[in-house]
Structure 1
Amino acid sequence: MRDSMEFDVVIVGAGPAGLSTACRLMQQAQEAEKELTVCVVEKGSEIGAHILSGAVFETRALDELFPNWQELGAPLNTAVTEDEVYLLKDAKKGTRIPNAFVPKTMHNQGNYIISLGNLCRWLAEQAESLGVEVFPGFAAAEILYNEDGSVKGIATGDMGVTAAGEQGANYTPGMELHAKYTIFSEGCRGHLGKELIARYKLDSQSDCQHYGLGIKELWDIPAEQHQPGLVVHGTGWPLDKDTSGGFFLYHTENNQVVVGQIVDLNYANPYLSPFDELQRLKHHPVLARHLQGGKRVSYGARAIAKGGYNSLPKMTFPGGLLVGCDAGTLNFSKIKGSHTAMKSGMLAAEAIFQALAKGDEGGNELVGYTDLFESSWLYDELFRSRNFGPAMHKLGQWLGGAFNYVDQNWFGGRIPVTLRDNHPDHEQLKPASSYQPIIYPKPDGKLSFDKLSSVFLSNTNHEEDQPCHLQLENADIPLQQNLVKFAEPAQRYCPAGVYEVIEEGEGERFQINAQNCLHCKTCDIKDPAQNITWVTPEGMGGPNYPNM
């Protein structure tokens, strides 16, 4: 028997969207002198533990939420001072693109280089000071429904269940959290958001969602190499002409640099390993000159939803809302999703408060949110960027880049055509027989590294004796189907070495090392058979990012 608690609003996920929702709700309650109970649950061991982003941050939403954020000590300490954009031709050569030919959406004047995890820690402090109850270490494992089909709330996961599914010595049942309205802000490919989209057919009128895998490292570098505020972006080598993506390198505070790569998950070559692409990318002179003599101190990975405006699902359903990257509000033309996630949460808070202030008892569909969204700068920004991703997918980096330059710089994103890309990423893999295996260079331990030493730097940990949270619908598919046709790509697309094909006697065995999981969700997205479902492990499991 599970205990239950009652709230006006329950928010799943303490990222920028969820915490902004909570803060804006309580601000309105204080302004109106009304009582409001708001709870945020977060599966990470602490706020920010699972937060990973580049991140160059645009302050537009924060300016609205906390106009005095500087006085309040928000951790925005490094203003962007310079933008550089490169096209890498091969392992040695790269051309810097003049700023005049870079789409305006990628200009970063007025923005800040930040740790999004630290910003979320700060937002959680603001939320708690406003009266929000914030519960880290509690994973929302199940959606609860009322008899009429509306969302009733969520249940946190049971603790102490063994790998065999039995109650262990430290078993503790989960808690039911009931609410008038439940906000789902789990980030990209949230497992509960995925359930809601399917249950309520929220994507029936939208294009299919598209994803990229972002892999990031944090480096300490010599002081003489440090250029605070420098932002470097680029594309090209080592990705081939059929694989889209790009890299980033930002000089942040304290003699640190963040470096990473985004590989679009619509790639075709099953032998491609996004992790190893980043490792060899760092040897290119454009990046190596920033990193040489430095020390890598942290590592992580996370999928990003990059379909944008065309792929937005309906965000309302009876009893709740999808916000932030759970809905896919990232603006890929800016390579930014934090300010858009925050704004979507703030709009959700306004829609909820308007309803509750009128005596709404919950369980209804908040149609007022749609009106608020469509009249907001968020909607306008996403609409103007609707062609960016489809142009790159359909036209390639050269023609796609030229189209985006014209669309953004000449037409302000209002070119009278809308490009579409309705081919799901997981269907894009071609048979392994069409390719030769990619022989990646052996890591040198200075600029490039192996997966296991990288996972170690993510501080990832899971309770070992628990049910596997990476569930196979059919245990035979990895070897009998994926291995035969695609050389089992899970071995390579996973950036944490979770999936292995082990030679055993005269055959093979498919092994899942769930303890390594970074919660990036790539397997749930890219598996060609859609046979892998990511569900939440015990609360507090996963990475523990200190400054990412």
Structure 2
Amino acid sequence: MEREVMEFDVIVVGAGPSGLSTACKLKQLANEKGQELNVCVLEKGSEVGAHILSGAVFETRALDELFPNWAELGAPLTTKVTEDHIYLLNSKTGSTKLPNFMAPKTMHNTGNYIASMANMCRWLAEQAEQLGVEVFPGFTAANVHYNEDGSVGGVITGDMGVSEAGEQKDSFMPGMLLTAKYTVFAEGCHGHLGKQLLQQFDLNKDVSPQHYALGFKEIWDVPAEQHQEGLVVHTAGWPLTDTTGGSYLYHAENNQVFVGLIVDLNYSNPHLSPFDEFQRLKHHPIMADTLKGGKRVTYGARAIAKGGFHSLPKMTFPGGLIVGCDAGTLNFAKIKGNHTAMKSGLIAAETLFELLSVESVKVKDPIEYTDAFKQSWLYDELYRSRNFGAAIHKFGNYVGGAYNTLDQNFFGGKLPFTISDSKADHACLKLAADMPKIDYPKPDGILSFDKLSSVFLSNTNHEEDQPCHLVLKDPSIPIKINLPKYDEPAQRYCPAGVYEIIESATGDKQLQINAQNCIHCKTCDIKDPNQNINWIVPEGTGGPNYPNM
């Protein structure tokens, strides 16, 4: 079909920390040199920040480089960390507080800020627009556009007004073709186009498979007497007896706390429900003593790329780069990925600006990025933390945690060992018949809740009459294979009630996909044991609308 064409020097896909940092830095460099550089940022959310979810304790190192005067510019960073508490939860009521010297120093947060990354991205978008970047929220990058020579030449935005049956409605508008000399993919963890590019250009050859966790977050208003602004609490242990991970409780401003659980997706028991693990976590006294008498304000969940150094792909290809969590730059030893994502974007901007300044003939693979990345503090930080996640996976929270404390606190992350985890998360599930069922308590509506009431708080909305964006490669697999072997784990690993097994009057079972509930966490695309679910972008603006996550 004929599409409207818009041309740019650089297209950035995704208005998260890495994408917006890339765009801001590009325009800063161009403005300093007096050069014209057309940069646009595409964001699939209804507004910048609508799909951003992060803990978050924020380290300002990359922001200091991008906007040294960020405080004067009004960056929404006002709550400094005042105390760090780390607990091992021994049971549903027991806990042991670790002295700081027994925790990896990467977990210490002095000088960092408790922040809403959704609001940080809104602020970054404002800075980008002031610098001359064109920011387009509500536009999905649905497909990669390739040039005749096979290089990436831009993206095609999603069509609007297509019915569930695939027919054009009266409101139909074809997507636009956006072309660029270079395209930067900054979609966040397990990006829809990023995963295609990894395959297209074989970018993850000879690296460990990426590993993931599912991160939950709720914001609560709590009584003033239970609030201590600036307090950061992390835990490990209960309720995650069948997998690894940990929880957090961050005391933000205005008597609000951010509470969440991170569940590693390499778990083996198909009966495990990450959502229900999070709900029962909140009944532990460490959490309940802060939350009781409070009110839950919002809810969300998002997959986290936590493979780290060993899972980093080649980040460049002819015509573009992959940056941030799309490439897996999160430092799980710090439980932080925002400053690392931003730094990867800054390096990308500096690399592309140099190429665009001298290039006169043909766009190429910007391999200069690789050398710049290796010479940066980002590479050094990820290298020093290279064994952190794998040690936890292989040895558990206690032994793995002890190794990491030794490695980080006494050897600066330079112990001469390489611990890798070569088994993909989706391949870790064992047969349902061989694993114990888990009896989760019913939610009490005070501290714990059901999925549907939680999704309601995420403000999730999709146009109902549109093609399903959760595509089964083989529609027979859920009932023929996943149900008898794994009791169809999609019913439990999805944190939004998207997947249900329903039974007809004749007793036939089928998988029902409630795509309207989808909060874009990507867990189904990651954890399905047969890799049968392909998450693609829905119609523009669809998904959650997080206010300040």
Q: Is the 8 A contact 2:161 2:172 kept in 1?
A: yes
Which piece of structure 1 moves more, 321-330 or 359-368? Answer: 359-368
Letter in 1 for 2:404: N
Q: Distance in 2 between matches of 1:77 and 1:529?
A: 45
Aligned to 2:424: 424
Q: 1:339: which partner in 2?
A: 339
Q: Deviations over 1:290-315 (max 9, x none)?
A: 10000001000000000000000000
Counterpart of 2:396 in structure 1 is 396
Tell me, in whole angstroms, the C-alpha distance in 1 between the residues paired with 2:362 and 2:233: 47
Q: Which residue of 1 aligns with 2:62?
A: 61
Cα distance in 2 for partners of 1:119, 1:257 equals 17
Q: Could you tell me which residue of structure 2 aligns to residue 98 of structure 1?
A: 99
Residue 210 of structure 1 corresponds to which residue in structure 2?
211
Q: Which amino acid aligns with 1:165?
A: G
1:205 positional shift: 2.1
Corresponding residue for residue 352 of structure 1: 352
User: Is 1:79–2:80 an aligned residue pair?
Assistant: yes
- For 1:388, the aligned partner's letter is F
Q: Is the 8 A contact 2:477 2:532 kept in 1?
A: yes
Task: Say whether residues 1:297 and 2:293 are aligned partners.
Answer: no
- Mapped to 2, the partners of 1:449 and 1:178 lie a distance apart of 46
Per-residue CA shift, 1:409-430, capped at 9, x if unaligned?
0100011111110000000000
8 Å Cα contact 2:525-2:534 kept in structure 1:
yes
| 1:480 corresponds to | 480
CA contact 1:491–1:497 (8 Å) conserved in 2: yes
Distance of 1:156 and 1:103 partners within structure 2: 44
SS in 2 for 1:92: coil
Q: Find the aligned partners of 1:362 and 1:303 in 2 and give their Cα distance.
A: 37
Judge conservation of contact 2:269–2:436 (CA < 8 Å) in 1: no
Q: Which runs of 4+ in 1 moved over 2 A?
A: 359-363
Which residue in the other structure is 1:258 paired with? 258
Letter in 2 for 1:459: N
Number of residue pairs aligned between Structure 1 and Structure 2: 547
Q: Give distance in 1, aligned partners of 2:540 and 2:341.
A: 23
CA-CA distance at 1:507 after TM superposition: 1.9
* Structure 1 gap segments, 5+ residues each: none
Check whether the contact 2:269–2:435 (CA below 8 A) recurs between aligned residues: yes
- Hey, what's the Cα distance between the residues in 1 that align with 2:231 and 2:116? 15
Where do residues 218-257 of structure 1 align in structure 2 (5 Å cutoff)? Answer: 218-240=219-241, 242-257=242-257
The DSSP-based 3-state class of the residue aligned with 2:335 is: coil
- Aligned CA RMSD, in angstroms, stands at 0.7
Give the residue type in structure 2 aligned to 1:304.
I
CA contact (8 A) 1:180 1:361 kept: no
The answer on 1:127 being equivalent to 2:133 is no
- Secondary structure, in 3 states, of the residue corresponding to 1:474? coil
Q: Structure 2: how far apart are the matches of 1:186 and 1:414?
A: 31
Identity %: 69
Asked if structure 2 preserves the Cα contact closer than 8 Å seen for 1:75 and 1:119, the reply is yes
Q: For the structure 1 residues 218 and 362, does the alpha-carbon distance in structure 2 shift closer, same or farther, using more than 3 Å as the test?
A: farther
- Which letter does structure 2 place at the counterpart of 1:99? N
Alpha-carbon distance in 1 for matches of 2:363, 2:159: 26
**Cα pair 1:320 1:363 within 8 Å, conserved:** no
Contact 1:181 1:362 in 2 (8 A): no
8 Å Cα contact 1:151-1:363 kept in structure 2: no
Tell me which amino acid in the other structure corresponds to 2:89. L
SS at match of 1:201: coil
Aligned residue in 1 for 2:90: 89
Q: Could you tell me how far 1:363 is from its partner in structure 2? A: 2.9
Other-structure match for 1:281: 281
Shift of 1:360: 4.3
Question: Which residue does the alignment assign to 2:538?
Answer: 537
2:31 is aligned with 1:30: yes
Q: Which residue of 1 aligns with 2:46?
A: 45
- Structure 1 Cα separation of the partners of residues 398 and 225 of structure 2: 36
Instruction: Judge conservation of contact 2:5–2:177 (CA < 8 Å) in 1.
Output: yes
- Asked whether the equivalents of residues 479 and 510 of structure 1 are also in contact (C-alpha less than 8 Å), the reply is yes
2:212/2:306 contact within 8 Å kept: yes
Give the deviation of 1:436 after TM superposition: 2.7
Does structure 2 conserve the Cα–Cα contact (< 8 Å) formed by 1:319 and 1:362? Answer: no
Q: Does residue 386 in structure 1 map to residue 380 in structure 2?
A: no
1:12 alignment partner in structure 2: 13
Q: 1:432-447 maps to which residues of 2 (within 5 A)?
A: 432-447=432-447
Q: Counterparts of 2:152 and 2:283 in 1: how far apart (Å)?
A: 50
Are residues 3 and 502 of structure 1, via their aligned partners in 2, closer, same or farther at CA, if it must alter by over 3 Å? same
